[in-house]
Amino acid sequence: MKKSLTIATSDSGGCAGIQADLKTFSALGVFGMSVIAAVTAQNTLEVKQIATIPIDNIAMQIDAVFEDIGADSVKIGMLFSKEIIDVVAKGLEKYEVKNLVVDPVMVAATGALLLKTDAINTMIKKLFPLARVVTPNLHEAEALSGIKILNYKDKVEACKIISRRGAQTVILKGGHGSGAESVDLWYNGKSVYEFSAPRVDTENVHGTGCTFSAAITAYLAHGCTLDESIRKAKIYITNAILKGKDLRIGRGSGPVNHFWNISDELR
């Protein structure tokens, strides 16, 4: 059985973070493992508190997974601080992780800051060079590139800047955009490719970025090329949003239906 590891933060509401990643791994047929870097007290309305895990414990979690089980692919999610990023980067280098997906989580759907400002450069320096793909949304791409994204040309330029800052390839997620189509741009270092799907009218989009990146990670574990993994992940997340658009979980931005491919109902 193929195995995927997520190194990220716990979401007590179950919509995003570690919980969304593990649900996605399970739905796509890979054995999911986790290294918990921080814990949030969170629901569909707000992030109430963030508590980080001791650095030595994070390092030990990484060792525990790789010394026994190993991983065919790894996803990085919310890491919160430069100290956490540093210890995670050391672990990834130690175990020579190849299929690494870095989702540079910075701000929650509710607006809460999920990455300290002084940690951004550490993430770029330590994690981007190790990743097969970095998956920012529009807001994150602006922070990482230093430019304001107002149009298609800006999106392409942001991808190129992020690539020059160390990322092998960049996929700029289009979920925070506008228009009838949700268009993701993938820059592979030479060319730009579009992955498009109809935009779904729903408030249940909490954790979509985590889920999309986790799906890419799962397909890489299965041995798909990066191009195939992105295409399949786009189909998966689009259906997860569509099949979850009428769910009534919480009073705010609810989750997608991670198990749409198993059942039409969220069990």
On whether residue 35 sits in a domain, the answer given is yes
CB-CB neighbours of 151 under 10 Å: 8
Single out the residue of 156, 226, 142, 210 nearest to residue 184, CA to CA.
156
On whether residue 184 sits in a domain, the answer given is yes
On whether residue 198 sits in a domain, the answer given is yes
Tell me how many domains the chain contains: 1
CA 171, 172, 176 angle in degrees (round to 5)?
145
Position 128, amino acid? F
On whether residue 254 sits in a domain, the answer given is no
CA–CA distance, 70 with 266 (Å, rounded to integer):
30
DSSP code of 231? H
Q: Considering the entire predicted model, what is its pTM?
A: 0.95
β-strand partners of 186: 171, 193
Q: What's the pLDDT at 266?
A: 44
DSSP, residue by residue, 86-145: HHHHHHHHHTT--SEEE----B-TTS-B-B-GGGHHHHHHHTGGG-SEE---HHHHHHHH
Q: What's the pLDDT at 179?
A: 74
On whether residue 257 sits in a domain, the answer given is no
Q: Which residues are within 8 A (CB) of 129 and not within 5 positions of it... i.e. 6 or more apart?
A: 166, 167, 168
Per-residue confidence in pLDDT tens, the chain, 267 aa: 999 999 999 999 999 999 999 999 999 999 999 999 999 999 999 999 999 999 999 999 999 999 999 999 999 999 999 999 999 999 999 999 999 999 998 876 666 678 888 889 999 999 999 999 999 999 999 999 999 999 999 999 999 999 999 999 999 998 766 678 889 999 999 999 999 999 999 999 999 999 999 999 999 999 999 999 999 999 999 999 999 999 999 999 999 999 998 865 444
Structural domain boundaries enclosing 106: 3-244
On whether residue 158 sits in a domain, the answer given is yes
Task: List, for residues 66-107, the tens digit of each pLDDT value.
Answer: 999 999 999 999 999 999 999 999 999 999 999 999 999 887
Q: Which residues are within 8 A (CB) of 96 and not within 5 positions of it... i.e. 6 or more apart?
A: none
On whether residue 258 sits in a domain, the answer given is no
On whether residue 264 sits in a domain, the answer given is no
Contact 101, 73 (CB under 8 A): yes
CATH classification at residue 127: 3.40.1190.20
